[in-house]
Amino acid sequence: MRGGSLVLVTGLGEDSGKTSLTTGLLASFRSLGVEAIGFKPAGATNVWLHPEVLVDSSRRGFLVTWDSLKIHRASGEDLDLRILNPVAGFSLPPYTATRGPAGFLLLLAGNLALVRISECLTRGLSTIHLIVDGILDAAPKGVREAVEEAASRLRPPPFKVKPGFIAEVLGQPASKAADTCLESLLGKEGLVVAESNSDVAAPTLGVLERSRVVLVSGWGRVYLYSGEVWRRAVEASMIGGVPWSVKTGEILELARPERVVDLKLTPHGELDPDDGGALAEAVLTILEKSV
């Protein structure tokens, strides 16, 4: 009954607890005997805040992000990380006035430097890396050299592109690529827990259409919605047919949640096991009702 079911975790803003909620839910589902795997359709990491992703990307030979590494570990690390996180980027602090693209990633503040896009095709996984031409020129020498060293180890090697091209790619093309990997995951048994990016109501059209339960993380408070209610509210608010144009807060003003849960404040921000168990049970209840 729960095979191929998608649960979406989104948030009211940056650092609202999406990743902690996602990884905590994965652990809670597994403790209940429910197979569950994480999915991060798109995301980016500021390499100044998390330089460890440069080391990990160099070792793996493809770009990885901080959030996706945490979700990968919580999922058991069996799945190819490029499938779990098909669209990934490195951003830099705002060394110049250049603004990042306003595509569906809605990336972290700062400048987007490197992007990986992976697509799950019938013939196998296809991956490309892109590097924004000239983006590193204004960066401090140490940062520039570290990013260039990591980029030199990526396979396939990055193509140099203009910022305008990145903005185009990070719209519908990257969203559709991410959805090919979503379909691959939904073809297997168990739950897929997808984490959105920033305060985006849904990161891709496929995630919006396939989500059966939605959890909104709001700095210690979680709002639970049925996927159908969430989808209708987002569709009513979309601009240009893209769900990433809608902010999560807008939907909270339009639709009433099925349940609101206040979480315990923990020392390191992880989801308390008791809270996680209660949320997992609530999600399973909504899933049963939606059948």
Q: Residue holding tokens 């060394």? A: 95
Per-residue model confidence (pLDDT) at position 291: 66
Q: What is the pLDDT of residue 163?
A: 77
pLDDT attached to residue 1? 38
Mapping DSSP to helix (H, G, I), strand (E, B) and coil, where does residue 120 land? strand
* pLDDT tens, residue order, the chain (291 aa): 345 799 999 999 878 899 999 999 999 999 999 999 999 999 999 999 999 999 999 999 999 999 999 999 999 988 999 999 999 999 888 765 444 444 445 443 347 889 999 999 989 999 999 998 888 888 899 999 999 999 999 999 999 998 778 877 888 889 999 999 999 999 887 899 999 988 999 999 999 999 999 999 999 999 999 999 999 999 999 988 889 889 999 999 999 999 999 999 998 889 999 999 999 999 999 999 876
C-beta atoms surrounding 256 within 10 Å: 10
pLDDT of 286 reads 94
Residue pair 202/208 in contact (Cβ under 8 Å)? The answer is yes
Q: What is the pLDDT of residue 95?
A: 65
CB-based contacts of 256, cutoff 8 Å, min separation 6:
none
Output the CA–CA distances (angstroms, integers) from residue 255 to 58, 200, 226, in the order listed.
Answer: 44, 16, 10
Question: Which residues, including other chains, have CB under 8 Å from residue 59's CB and lie 6 or more apart?
Answer: none
Q: What is the pTM of this model?
A: 0.92
Residue 168: CA atoms inside 13 Å, Cβ hemisphere, count?
A: 5
For the residues of 254-269, what is the DSSP string, one character each?
A: HS--SEEEEPPP-TTS
Measured CA to CA, the distance from residue 182 to residue 179 in angstroms comes to: 5
Cα 267 from Cα 49, distance rounded (Å): 20
